[in-house]
Amino acid sequence: MRVLVADDHSLFRDGIVSLLEAAGFEVVGQVGDGQSAIESAQLLRPDLVLMDITMPEMNGLEALRQIRFVLPDTKVVMLTVSEDDSDLFEAIRLGASGYLLKSLNADEFLEMLEGLSHGEAVMTRETTARLMRGFADLADLQETAPDRLSPRELELLQLVAEGLSNKAIGQQLSVSVNTVKYHMKNILQKLGAQNRTEAVMMAIRSGLIKPESSE
Amino acid sequence: MASPRVVILSGQSLFTEGVASRLREHISQLELKVIDPRGTGALEQIKDYQPSAVILDSADPEVAEVCPLNEILMAVPAVKVLQLDPRREQFQVVTSEEKVAGLVRDLVDVIMPSD
């Protein structure tokens, strides 16, 4: 299998390349940022891109999206320290063939990559469990949330997801800060969320809002 | 020349094993032991192994907690400790010497630069 490794930590990258080569993988390239990953993938046409998420210039999720668009047959497996559910769900939504944590041991890591050639998803049991829990929450939310959240509340939640403060949301929607707070309180209550971050996460997972502005 | 005996101390398995793999490519006679600080008796294992160098992941809080630098140096006084920060891609080399301090002169000998 021909592999491209994208990770901004060169020492980690060097070590991964060594492990892959020792296991018989052909490492065709290694890069340190998302933009270079796209360019190298187009040039080298690897079977697999091992992609970190947090990288300069362009993060791994955006690079994943673009690689999947231009090279749909190239598999991309995220290799990251991020245990954040939003990164996991976003990666899978964008077409990642797997999601591995860097805390994995080498034998398990290599065994999983071997499974990729047999069409297996590259994911530990723990990550699979997280994913399944996420889908269960999503199904639950999709059944009820659209009916419960008004268009105005969805609009407001989208602005929260884009990082706007209550004041900025108020200005954008031409309402007072108190009105924004009132809507927010209702949203939290309807979704059963503890805080605005959790509400945003739930709404992103359910597809009610987008992770960031599409503009 | 004796084979270098190295300990890598880190809880990040994939990173550690990657570095170990590359080290073995560069140093053919390398004796290498990987120790996870989350395991039992990490410091005891270092003491028993008597490495010539310890590479430790300074970004891993468990390492500093379980195997503080001064305790490593106490356990193996002549060891070279490479405090590696993978995020900054830098490492700091710490060495130590154990000497007899019978007289103040012994301290002076160390303080004063040798000719």
Note the pLDDT tens digit of each residue in A50-92: 999 999 889 999 999 999 999 999 999 999 888 888 889 889 9
Third-level CATH fold of A2-123: Rossmann fold (3.40.50)
Note the pLDDT tens digit of each residue in B81-114: 999 887 788 899 999 888 888 999 989 988 987 7
Choice among A4-18, A94-108, A154-168, A200-214 with the minimum mean pLDDT? A200-214
d(CA A161, CA A180): 14
| B14 contacts A10? CB cut-off 8 A | no
Which among A167, A148, A169 is positioned nearest to A158, based on CA atoms? A169
Res. A215: pLDDT tops 60: no
Res. B115: pLDDT tops 70: no
Q: Do B43 and B17 meet the contact criterion of CB atoms below 8 Å apart?
A: no
Residues in B touching A105 (Cβ below 8 Å): 13-14, 17
Dihedral pair phi/psi, residue A212, rounded to 5°: -150, 170
pLDDT score at A214: 42
ipTM for this prediction: 0.74
d(CA A19, CA A5): 12
DSSP assignment of A57-103 equals SS-HHHHHHHHHHH-TTSEEEEEES---HHHHHHHHHTT-SEEEETT
Q: In chain A, which segments carry CATH 1.10.10.10? A: 136-205
Note the pLDDT tens digit of each residue in B19-67: 888 898 888 889 999 888 887 888 899 999 999 999 998 888 888 888 8
pLDDT score at B92: 92
| B86 contacts A12? CB cut-off 8 A | yes
Which of A19, A55, A110, A112 would you mutate first to test chain B, the one with the most B CBs within 10 A?
A: A19
Q: Which of A12, A18, A105 sits opposite B21 (nearest CB)?
A: A18
Residues 54-93 (B) with a CB less than 8 A from some CB of A: 84, 86-87, 89
Taking the CA of residue B29 and the nearest CA in chain A, the distance in Å comes to: 18
Tell how far CA A24 is from the center of its chain. 29
> CA of B1: how far to CAs of B9, B21, B26, B52, B81, in Å?
25, 22, 16, 13, 20
Residues in A touching B13 (Cβ below 8 Å): 103-106
| A109 contacts B18? CB cut-off 8 A | no
Which of B12, B21, B82, B85 would you mutate first to test chain A, the one with the most A CBs within 10 A?
A: B21
Res. A134: pLDDT tops 90: no
Note the pLDDT tens digit of each residue in A149-182: 888 888 999 999 888 889 999 998 888 888 999 8
Third-level CATH fold of A136-205: Arc Repressor Mutant, subunit A (1.10.10)
| B15 contacts A15? CB cut-off 8 A | yes
Q: Which residues pair with B6 in a beta bridge?
A: B32, B53
Which among A32, A35, A89, A80 is positioned nearest to A62, based on CA atoms? A35
Which of A5, A10, A12 would you mutate first to test chain B, the one with the most B CBs within 10 A?
A: A12
Q: In chain A, which segments carry CATH 3.40.50.2300? A: 2-123
Residue A145 pLDDT class (50, 70, 90 cuts): low
Mean pLDDT on A143-147? 63
Could you tell me the maximum CA-CA distance found in chain A, to the nearest angstrom? 63
Mean pLDDT on A97-120? 89
Mean pLDDT on A28-46? 96
